[in-house]
Amino acid sequence: MDLDFTAAQDAFRAEARDWLAAHVPAAPLPSLETAEGFAAHRDWERTLFADRWSVVSWPEEYGGRGASILEWLIFEEEYYAAGAPGRVSQNGIHLLAPTLFEHGTDEQRARILPQMASGEVIWAQAWSEPESGSDLASLRSTAVRADGGWRLSGQKTWSSRAAFADRAFGLFRSDPDAGRPHQGLTYVMFPLDADGVTVRPIGRLDGKPAFAELFLDDVFVPDEEVIGEPGQGWRVAMSTAGNERGLTLRSPGRFMAAADRLTALWRAQADAADSAVRDRVADAVIGVRAYQLFTYANASRIAAGGSIGAESSLNKVFWSELDIALHETALDLLGPYGELSDDADEAPEHGSWAEGYTFSLAGPIYAGTNEIQRDIIAERLLGLPKGRR
C-alpha cells in the first residue's frame, strides 16, 4: 500500500503546472452561465485544446494524451490549484463522450469528439422532462421512425448549458408498446438550432440562465445521431450515469483548491477563539482530504482491474454535501459580505464564493438526486430490500 507517484507522473504534474501558470487568465472569466461568459469559456476550451490539455484522458487521435485515471486526477489537482476557469464543455466530455467511447460508432467518434475537445461544439444534456425527474424511465418525449432517421417530439427540461450550447443528447421513447418503462427508449443527439427546436432559458436560483426548457416539435434527426441500438437507450444511458456519479464528474482537485482558499480565508478573517467556525473549517479540510484519498483508492482499484459500480453513489452524496458545507462556511466567514451576489462590484474574491455557493446547491439534485443515491447505496451496497420510493 502506498500513495507514491512515479517520476513520470511527477513530470506530468510539472508539465501541467507550468502550462497552466503560463496560460490561465489573470482575471477570472465572467460567469459561464451568461452569454459573454459562455463565449469566453468557449475560447478557453480552444486554448486548452491547442496544447492538448482539454481532454487529457482521451486517446491522442481525438485530441487527448491517453492519460491514466491517476494522471487525470493529477491534472485536475493542478488545474483547480491554478485557479483555472470552469469547464463549459463538462457535459459533453464527462457524460456524452464516455457513452460514445463505449457505444458509439467510429464515424460518430471521428465526427463528434474532436469538435467537442476543441470547444467548437458545446453539448447540453436533455434527460429530465416536466413529469420525469428521478423517475426518468417514465419519460414521454417520442422518437418516431422516419425515412433515414427519426422525428423527435416532446418537452425536455432542466437542460444544463442549453441556453447557449450547440447540441444536446437525451432519451426518447421510440417504442410506446414496449413492456416496461425503461424498454423502448432510444439515445439520440440533436442540434439545438434545428427546425422545430425551441429553447427557453430558465434562470437558476441567482437568475442566471444555467439551464433551459427544450420544446421539440417534429424535429428530424438522421440515423447517425442515434447512439447504440434503437430501443436500447436506457442501457446506453445508464453507462453514462455511472460515469457521471463516479470518478469523473467532480474530481477532488476542485474541492482541494476550494478548501485551500477556505483555510486562507479563515486565517485572514476569523476570530481564532471562535471554535465553532474553526470546527467547520476543519471538517471541510478533513472531508476534502477524505475525498481525495477515497478517489485514489478507487483509481487504484480500477488500475488493478476492478470496477466502480454502485459505489459511485457514495462519492456523489459525499462531494455534493461537502461542497455546500464548505461554501456555507466561507460565506459565514465573510460576514456582511456573504450576502453579496457574485456580480456585485464589492463581492469578495470576484464573487467566487457566492457563485460557488449557488453552484453547490444544485449538487444534491443533479446527476441523480441524493435521495436516489441513498436508495442505491442501501439496496445495492447494503442489500436492503426494495421498497416504495
Partner 1 sequence: MRFLLDDEQREFARTLDGMLTAADTPAVVRAWASGDTTPGRALWARLAETGVFALAVPEEHDGLGALPVELAVAFTELGRHAVPGPVVETVAAAVFLERLGDEAPAAAWLPGIASGKTAASLCLLSPGSPYSPYSPYALDADTADAVFVVDGDTVRLAESTGPLQPSADPARRLSRPLGGTVLAKGPEVAAAAAHAADAAALATAAQALGLGRALLAQTVEYAKQRTQFGVAIGSFQAVKHRLADVLIALEFAQPLIHAAALALAAGDSSSGRQIAAAKVSACEAAYTAARTALQLHGALGYTEELNLSLWIRKARALRYAWGTPAACRARVLGSESDGRPYEPDRATQKGADG
Residues binding partner 1 (CB under 8 A): 1-5, 9, 70, 263, 266-270, 272, 275, 278-279, 281-283, 285-287, 289-291, 293-294, 296-297, 299-301, 303-304, 314, 317-318, 335, 371, 373-375, 377-379, 381-389
What's the min distance (Å) between Cβ of 263 and partner 1? 7
Strands 167-173 and 123-126: parallel
What's the min distance (Å) between Cβ of 359 and partner 1? 22
**Bridge partner residues of 4 (DSSP):** none
What's the min distance (Å) between Cβ of 302 and partner 1? 11
What's the min distance (Å) between Cβ of 291 and partner 1? 7
Name the residue nearer to partner 1 (CB basis): 179 or 336.
Answer: 336
Report the C-alpha gap between 293 and 285 in whole angstroms: 12
Report the C-alpha gap between 319 and 324 in whole angstroms: 9
- The reply to whether 107 belongs to the active site is no
Q: From the candidates 33, 45, 244, 311, give the one annotated as an active-site residue.
A: 244
Name the residue nearer to partner 1 (CB basis): 108 or 369.
Answer: 369
Q: Are 93 and 72 in contact (CB under 8 A)?
A: no
Name the residue nearer to partner 1 (CB basis): 51 or 279.
Answer: 279
What's the min distance (Å) between Cβ of 130 and partner 1? 24
Among 56, 90, 24, 77, smallest CA distance to 359 is for 90
Number of other residues whose CB lies within 10 A of the CB of residue 178: 13
Name the residue nearer to partner 1 (CB basis): 117 or 330.
Answer: 330
DSSP states of 365-382:
TSSS-HHHHHHHIIIIIS
Name the residue nearer to partner 1 (CB basis): 220 or 294.
Answer: 294
What's the min distance (Å) between Cβ of 314 and partner 1? 5
What's the min distance (Å) between Cβ of 274 and partner 1? 11
Q: Are 32 and 208 in contact (CB under 8 A)?
A: no
Cell of 360: 453547490
Name the residue nearer to partner 1 (CB basis): 198 or 275.
Answer: 275
Q: Are 199 and 132 in contact (CB under 8 A)?
A: no
| Cα-based angle 286, 287, 289 (whole degrees, multiple of 5) | 65
Report the C-alpha gap between 80 and 271 in whole angstroms: 28
Element (H, E) at 263: helix 252-269
Name the residue nearer to partner 1 (CB basis): 52 or 289.
Answer: 289
Q: How many residues does this entry show for the chain?
A: 389
Q: Are 24 and 83 in contact (CB under 8 A)?
A: yes
The beta strand positions in 226-341, using DSSP E, are 226-227
Q: What SS3 class is residue 166?
A: coil
Catalytic residues: 244
